[in-house]
With several copies, the nearest count.
Chain A
Amino acid sequence: MQLLTPEGELASHETYSLTLTDAEYKLLYREMVFVRRLDQEATALQRQGQLGLWASSLGQEAAQVGSAFALEKNDFAFPTYRDHGVAWMRGVDPMKIMQVYRGVSNGGWDPFEHRCNTYTIVIGNQVLNGVGYAMGLTLDQSEDAVITYFGDGATAQGDVHEGFVFASTFDAPVVFFCQNNQWAISQPSEKFVKSPIYKRADGFGFPGVLVDGNDILAVIAVTRAALERARSGAGPTLIEAFTYRMAAHTTSDDPTRYRHENDLQNWKLKDPIERLKVMLARNGIADRSFFDAVGAEADTWGETLRASVRSMPEPPPESIFDHVYTEKHAVLDGQRAAFIDYHEGFADSGVH
């Protein structure tokens, strides 16, 4: 399903259509530019030793920004470690994302504040958590919906399928959003996915849709439709957003060991941001000056980001004992006390 060709031409589709205001089109462009900039800054910061690791979203901006753009304020998103465009669109402060990859926090933000869960690293876990939240929405007769993200590699995990079963059983208002970026670290998806991912939904009793994941307009259209279906009580939808992981799996990965440069080149031609940019220009929605302004804005923003990451405060040592339990815990409280004594001991004795 496609509404915007790689050449930036608007296409029409029998079931799906989307019309946005010029302001919205421009906003989408701006958001994608910032998400890409965030990714570039983080990648650079990791190289400079400012972050421990980074999982790049390069090339997946349309899938992430578009699907999250389709969400209402009260909808809830369950992202993975790579879905920076989703966190961004939910209003999560990028510095909080940096905290996770700098090793300052394992979560970074309050999921309720942005109705966006913290990143889930264990492949597939968040799919069940998201389905459960959606089951709660049904119990509450709420009009809200859930979107849960996962990758092509995750389609091998039991949890993802159990998520399908529970969602269809309870007609949970959830959208399963699979970004098929064609790689699970070194493994090409065609190796383990013998039938298109979106087709898997049918066997569980709900619809599956394939969408061009680099076409932000198409992504928004299908995600909106799926969310509407969920709100109406009709149950889940599986969306396969076909895209490409343009960077390494993470900054510690070396893709030259398992994939060819030319793949990358082909996909550069399908770049989601370029595609929208051409459309905006061709249809006179935005011009050079706008693109330059956004670029300049991103530059200054990037600078401040770099600075704040470098000066990010470290949490106090004894905070490792915080929030393990909500209530008093005799054993752990004792360990915390001993920990503080021990380190004060060193402080006094000047050792360390």
Chain B
Amino acid sequence: MTTELTMAKALNLALRTAMEADNKVILFGEDIGKLGGVFRVTDGLHKDFGEHRVIDSPLAESGIVGTAIGLAMRGYRPVLEIQFDGFVFPGFDQIISQLAKVHRRTHGSVKLPITIRIPYGGGIGAVEHHSESPEAFFAHIPGLRVLTPSDPQSAYSCLLSAIRSDDPVIFFEPKRRYWDKGVVDQTQAIAAPWQARILRAGSDVSVVAYGPMVKTALQAADASEYSLEIIDLQSLSPIDDKSIAESVARTGRLVIVHEAPGTLGLGAEIAARIGKSCFYNLVAPIERVTGYDIPYPPSKLEEYYLPDHDRILFAVDSVMEA
């Protein structure tokens, strides 16, 4: 059955579905109870599932992640909410030294099916630390999986898959797309999310984007004089470079788009892999359209930092003219 929902509501529905299906699924984070989270993604769940399943945490991210690990060892499937991208770092140590390593350390006897939801990215006119894109840090950590949806449907499907995975999953939610509406087919829930999706077929240039930039890439495709193939990465770890390579084998050109600073952003890894696997297909250098290597600027200037469809078109032109 399908419904029209905002991404925030689609995420809310996924949480509700997961909690109904498995009473070991619990939500844990700052202000997620009565308030429903600062973005209301957990709205109503505290009321319906009670304070033992939707738990307001103290204001400490290392504490949230560190105790979630213990809860998972006890058999729970904690779904954590980090209030904003810039506030995940106090929990970074528990994530990299415990969350990502415990399964390996214990030779598989301990599983940590923990999902960490993180609203990320800019474009909402927020103050410092509220618009960052830290996904590359997590995609560089063996033992973690990283997902990011781009629309209500993938938000719903990917979040359910993240919660059902026995691996720890860092789940990045493109906060500026929370209010975008789209059709959600709840039967698509079980779709394997570790693959990229081709959202639009094209013959001239393959454009890889993820999270908030997918919509921007689609806008660029509408505006471009060339035929762009738009690929929604969805999974940032593992990266589905196979799907990208197949596309580039056809187009011979690749543009990668993300908000995070370019240096050592996801675009670097994709360019390195495709530059190798498609060495003999590429007819132009791979272009990256990314944030600059600077701290996220004050919101009045964020439009100059964020890749927009003009910058994508500029890159498309350069690979076409190469």
Q: Which residues of A contact B (CB under 8 A)?
A: 52-53, 81, 100-107, 109-113, 117-118, 120-125, 127-137, 139-140, 146, 153-154, 156-159, 162-163, 165-166, 169, 184-187, 191-192, 252-254, 257-258, 314-315, 317, 319-327, 329-332, 335, 339, 342-343, 346, 351-352
Other-chain contact of B70, A133, A187, A323 (Cβ < 8 Å): A133
Known: A156-B60, A325-B145. A162 touches B304 (CB 8 A): no
- Taking a contact as CB atoms under 8 Å apart, the answer to whether A128 and B70 are in contact is yes
- Closest chain A CB from B103 CB (angstroms): 6
Residues of chain A within 8 A of B298, CB atoms compared: 100, 103-106, 315
**Complex A-B, nearest 8 residue pairs according to Cβ-Cβ distance, in ascending order:** A132-B70, A128-B66, A136-B74, A132-B67, A103-B299, A133-B70, A162-B63, A156-B58
- Taking a contact as CB atoms under 8 Å apart, the answer to whether A129 and B167 are in contact is no
Interface residue B260 (Cβ < 8 Å from any Cβ of A): no
- Give 22 CB contacts A-B under 8 Å: A103-B125, A107-B106, A117-B73, A125-B98, A129-B67, A129-B98, A132-B73, A135-B70, A136-B71, A136-B74, A136-B75, A139-B74, A140-B74, A153-B59, A165-B58, A187-B58, A315-B298, A315-B300, A322-B108, A323-B107, A327-B166, A331-B293
Closest to A55 in B: B127
- Closest chain A CB from B253 CB (angstroms): 20
Of B27-35, B171-179, B278-286, the stretch lying at the interface with chain A is: B27-35
- Taking a contact as CB atoms under 8 Å apart, the answer to whether A326 and B98 are in contact is no
Closest to B113 in A: A326
- Taking a contact as CB atoms under 8 Å apart, the answer to whether B63 and A121 are in contact is no
Residues of chain A within 8 A of B56, CB atoms compared: 186-187, 191
Residues of chain A within 8 A of B123, CB atoms compared: none
Given contacts A106-B104, A128-B65, 5 further A-B contacts (CB under 8 A): A81-B127, A123-B87, A165-B60, A258-B35, A332-B294
Interface centre among B108, B240, B263 (most CB of A within 10 A): B108
A315 to B56, CA, bound (A): 40
- Closest chain B CB from A110 CB (angstroms): 4
Q: Give B152-196 interface residues, CB cut-off 8 Å to A.
A: 165-167, 194
- Taking a contact as CB atoms under 8 Å apart, the answer to whether A129 and B70 are in contact is yes
Interface residue B242 (Cβ < 8 Å from any Cβ of A): yes
A336 to B34, CA, bound (A): 46
- Closest chain B CB from A84 CB (angstroms): 14
Known: A103-B300, A135-B71, A169-B58. A323 touches B128 (CB 8 A): no
- Taking a contact as CB atoms under 8 Å apart, the answer to whether B105 and A122 are in contact is no
- Closest chain B CB from A192 CB (angstroms): 4
A331 to B128, CA, bound (A): 24
Closest to B97 in A: A122
A270 to B313, CA, bound (A): 60
Interface residue B199 (Cβ < 8 Å from any Cβ of A): no
- Closest chain B CB from A152 CB (angstroms): 9
- Taking a contact as CB atoms under 8 Å apart, the answer to whether B126 and A132 are in contact is no
- Taking a contact as CB atoms under 8 Å apart, the answer to whether B63 and A325 are in contact is no
A130 to B301, CA, bound (A): 30
Map CB proximity to A onto B236-264 as digits: 1 under 8 Å, 0 otherwise. 00111010000000000000000000010
Known: A129-B66, A192-B58. A187 touches B74 (CB 8 A): no
Q: Which residues of B contact A (CB under 8 A)?
A: 26, 30-31, 33-36, 38, 52, 56-60, 62-63, 65-76, 86-87, 89-90, 93-94, 97-98, 101, 103-111, 125-129, 142-143, 145, 165-167, 194, 238-240, 242, 263, 292-295, 297-302, 304-305, 310-311, 314
A180 to B238, CA, bound (A): 44
- Taking a contact as CB atoms under 8 Å apart, the answer to whether B126 and A53 are in contact is yes
Other-chain contact of B90, A106, A110, A140, A159 (Cβ < 8 Å): A159
Residues of chain B within 8 A of A162, CB atoms compared: 58, 60, 62-63, 66
Known: A103-B127, A121-B128. A128 touches B35 (CB 8 A): no
Interface centre among B106, B111, B242 (most CB of A within 10 A): B106
Known: A53-B127, A128-B66, A165-B58. A327 touches B167 (CB 8 A): yes
Residues of chain B within 8 A of A254, CB atoms compared: 35
- Closest chain B CB from A160 CB (angstroms): 9
Residues of chain B within 8 A of A133, CB atoms compared: 70-71, 73-74
Residues of chain B within 8 A of A343, CB atoms compared: 304
- Closest chain A CB from B296 CB (angstroms): 9
Residues of chain B within 8 A of A158, CB atoms compared: 60, 62-63, 90
Known: A165-B58, A257-B35, A323-B108. A136 touches B294 (CB 8 A): no
Closest to A102 in B: B300
- Taking a contact as CB atoms under 8 Å apart, the answer to whether A139 and B105 are in contact is no
Residues of chain A within 8 A of B86, CB atoms compared: 121-122
- Taking a contact as CB atoms under 8 Å apart, the answer to whether B129 and A122 are in contact is yes
Known: A101-B127, A157-B90. A320 touches B109 (CB 8 A): no
Residues of chain A within 8 A of B194, CB atoms compared: 330
- Closest chain A CB from B28 CB (angstroms): 9
- Closest chain A CB from B219 CB (angstroms): 15
Known: A315-B301, A346-B310. A324 touches B106 (CB 8 A): no
A326 to B70, CA, bound (A): 18
A343 to B308, CA, bound (A): 13
Residues of chain B within 8 A of A324, CB atoms compared: 103-104, 142-143, 293-295
- Taking a contact as CB atoms under 8 Å apart, the answer to whether B66 and A163 are in contact is yes
Residues of chain B within 8 A of A104, CB atoms compared: 298, 300
A52 to B128, CA, bound (A): 11
A321 to B143, CA, bound (A): 11
Closest to A49 in B: B125
A162 to B33, CA, bound (A): 20
Known: A107-B105, A128-B94. A320 touches B59 (CB 8 A): no
Residues of chain B within 8 A of A111, CB atoms compared: 73, 106, 109-110
- Closest chain A CB from B95 CB (angstroms): 11
Residues of chain A within 8 A of B305, CB atoms compared: 320
A134 to B90, CA, bound (A): 22
Residues of chain B within 8 A of A102, CB atoms compared: 300
- Taking a contact as CB atoms under 8 Å apart, the answer to whether A131 and B58 are in contact is no
